[in-house]
């Protein structure tokens, strides 16, 4: 049978450990909530649902297409909300981007300068997993990712799957345009490609 003093000693050892774990668990839960969208507006929500939660959202008008221009085969809309915060960062202008009527990314432009903003992101999410040649920093957390431009201090939280889907669609359109502008080689009646003959210049 365990002695009372031994049980008390075990509790004295265990309680400080639990006290250290509790803030860590709270920070992890807070980080997860920040990565799921913008406040109560979670990734995958429609514009209508987000506007019901945040009535002050203002739509950013898209450029008017030129007459005869082909419209893209997808819908991309953007809404802004001013004077928001992200952790200790204040006076942030937030842009919510919807792809096919589903919230895909949230961009933050906050006051305080890029050095303060990037310093906080590194403190909050740890060292970036990727740094591009243009000083774009990236953190990937499974379903969600964070990207930041070190010079400007602008950063975005993205739904990874929806962001990749949009990139795939846009890349497909680019490749389609490239194929349309690539000249087709001449073909002989047999169907073989023919290279035009070049007449050699007479010797000088």
Assess whether pLDDT exceeds 80 at residue 69. no
- CATH class for the domain made up of 41-60+73-180: alpha beta
Q: What average pLDDT does this structure show over 182-203?
A: 51
User: Mean pLDDT, to the nearest integer, of 33-44?
Assistant: 92
Q: What is the pLDDT at residue 23?
A: 39
Q: If you compute the radius of gyration of the chain from its CA atoms, what whole number of angstroms results?
A: 27
Q: How far is CA 67 from CA 7, 45, 71, 77, 191, in A?
A: 81, 32, 10, 21, 39
pLDDT of 14: 45
Domain ranges of the chain: 41-60+73-180
Average pLDDT in the 71-79 region? 82
The string of pLDDT tens digits covering residues 83-136 is 999 999 999 999 999 999 999 999 999 999 999 999 999 999 999 999 998 899
Asked whether the predicted pLDDT for residue 43 surpasses 50, the reply is yes
Record the pTM: 0.68
- DSSP codes, 29-98: HHHHHHTTEETTEETT--HHHHHHH-TT-EE-PPPPPPTTPPPPSS-EEEEEEEEEEETTEEEEEEEEEE
The larger pLDDT score, comparing residue 23 to residue 73, is at 73
What mean pLDDT is predicted for residues 39-46?
Answer: 96
The pLDDT value recorded for residue 87 is 93
Place of tokens 């490749």: 175
Is the model more confident about 183 or about 194?
A: 183
User: Residue 157: which of 169, 135, 140, 170 has the closest Cα?
Assistant: 140
| CA 153 – CA 157 distance, rounded (Å) | 13
Q: What is the pLDDT of residues 118-131, one digit of tens each?
A: 999 999 999 999 99
């Amino acid at each position: 049978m365990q002695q009372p003093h031994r049980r008390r000693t075990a509790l004295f050892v265990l309680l400080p450990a639990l006290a250290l774990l509790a803030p860590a668990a709270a920070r992890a839960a807070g980080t997860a909530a920040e990565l799921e969208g913008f406040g109560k507006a979670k990734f995958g929500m429609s514009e209508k649902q987000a506007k019901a939660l945040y009535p002050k959202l203002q739509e950013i008008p898209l450029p008017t297409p030129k007459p005869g221009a082909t419209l893209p085969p997808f819908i991309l809309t953007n809404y802004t909300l001013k004077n928001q915060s992200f952790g200790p960062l204040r006076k942030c202008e937030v842009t919510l981007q919807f792809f096919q009527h589903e919230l895909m990314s949230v961009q933050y432009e906050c006051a305080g300068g890029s050095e303060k903003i990037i310093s906080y992101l590194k403190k909050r999410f740890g060292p970036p997993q990727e740094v591009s040649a243009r000083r774009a920093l990236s953190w990937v957390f499974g379903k969600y990712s964070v990207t930041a431009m070190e010079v400007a201090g602008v950063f975005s939280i993205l739904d990874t799957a929806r962001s990749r889907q949009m990139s795939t669609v846009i890349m497909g359109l680019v490749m389609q345009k490239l194929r349309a502008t690539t000249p087709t080689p001449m073909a002989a009646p047999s169907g073989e490609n023919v290279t035009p003959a070049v007449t050699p210049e007479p010797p000088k």
